[in-house]
Amino acid sequence: MLSFITYKDAPEQLEIVADSKGVNELVDYLLSIKKGKDHMHLSIGTELDEYPITGPRVGKTISAKHVRLEYEDTSSWNLSEK
């Protein structure tokens, strides 16, 4: 299981929830984009699982339907604009 959860009132916060298999898959995805210097899209129903929102999280959190992982060399970042 691999899920990404965001908060409606804190969009800058992201939680990654994974079991052992999900952690291994995430590591494989990251190594793949690092090796290929590319990007990858993860979607619910294929690479991602819908996390069951229950209890006090109902109405406050969203299970991400799509996640984009991207390799970007830091030399291309313009840090002076941040």
| Helix ranges restricted to H, 1-82 | 20-36
* pLDDT-derived band at 77, boundaries 50, 70, 90: confident
CA distance 34 to 12: 24
Q: Give SS3 for 45.
A: coil
Q: Provide the whole-model pTM.
A: 0.82
Neighbouring CB atoms inside 10 A of 55's CB total 6
The predicted-structure confidence for 2-56, as pLDDT tens digits, reads as follows 999 999 999 899 999 999 999 999 999 999 999 999 999 999 999 999 988 888 8
The ranges assigned to domains in the chain are 2-72
Q: What is the pLDDT of residue 81?
A: 58
Strands 39-43 and 10-18: unpaired
List the structure tokens of 12: 């800058």
